[in-house]
Amino acid sequence: MRSTLVSRLFLLTAAVAMLVASAPAQAEGHRFGVGLHYWRALDDLAEDGFDVDESGLAGIVSWQYGAFIRFEADLEIFPEGFGGSTDTAISPLVFVVVGSDLYAALGAGVTWSQDLEGDFSDPFWVARVGWDWDLLPKISLDLNLNYRFDAFSELDDVQSDAITAGAIVRFSF
């Protein structure tokens, strides 16, 4: 039941992001970015016998649309060794972002790799807080902290070793 609910919420979030993407462009409404996401493996993965890298960097390609309330679509590319994978893993994510300079976001995603059973992971949630700092008039630096979780009940017991950091350079159009 929970997996079905999470899947439906993920599909709903993805559908909203696609609708926003098809809206006509407005001045400074679209922002594209590239960046890095520093991740750390959870201790319990190694204890369960998975051959995982302790930490690493993933590349990010990102698109945002909106002003104070924004929609964001990201594609993260993880090298082999992420989550026990011996192949490259790709993770599409969608977010609703609230705020401007300081912001909070809630998103959902999945991870795809040929090594995963059925190729896709179960859907997961991402809570993000960040600081989006203007470097130049149409270029900004987004520094953020991320927490991935499977169920909202997990927010009662946040594991600090599961908080990851990201940096994205964004270009406004």
SS3 85: coil
Between residues 80 and 113, the one the model is more confident about: 113
Which DSSP string do the residues of 96-107 spell out, in sequence order?
Answer: EEEESSEEEEEE
Task: Pick the closest to residue 127 from 167, 161, 155 (CA basis).
Answer: 155
pLDDT in tens, 43-91: 555 555 555 566 788 999 999 999 899 999 999 998 876 666 678 889 9
Which of the four pLDDT bands, split at 50, 70 and 90, describes residue 117?
low
2-172: which CATH architecture?
Answer: Beta Barrel (2.40)
Which of the four pLDDT bands, split at 50, 70 and 90, describes residue 157?
low
- Name residue 31's beta-bridge partners: 64, 172
- Residue matched to tokens 């997990």: 154
SS3 84: helix
State how far the Cα of 88 lies from the Cα of 85, in Å rounded to an integer. 7
Mean pLDDT over 30-51 rounds to 73
Q: Which two tokens stand for residue 10?
A: 């993920």
Instruction: Kindly report the backbone phi and psi dihedral angles of residue 140, in degrees, each rounded to the nearest multiple of 5, phi listed first.
Output: -135, 160
pLDDT in tens, 123-138: 999 999 999 999 999 9
What sign for the dihedral angle of Cα 19, 67, 10, 5? negative
State how far the Cα of 46 lies from the Cα of 59, in Å rounded to an integer. 23
Sequence-distant (6+) residues with CB within 8 A of 98 are 68, 69, 104, 105
- Name residue 53's beta-bridge partners: none
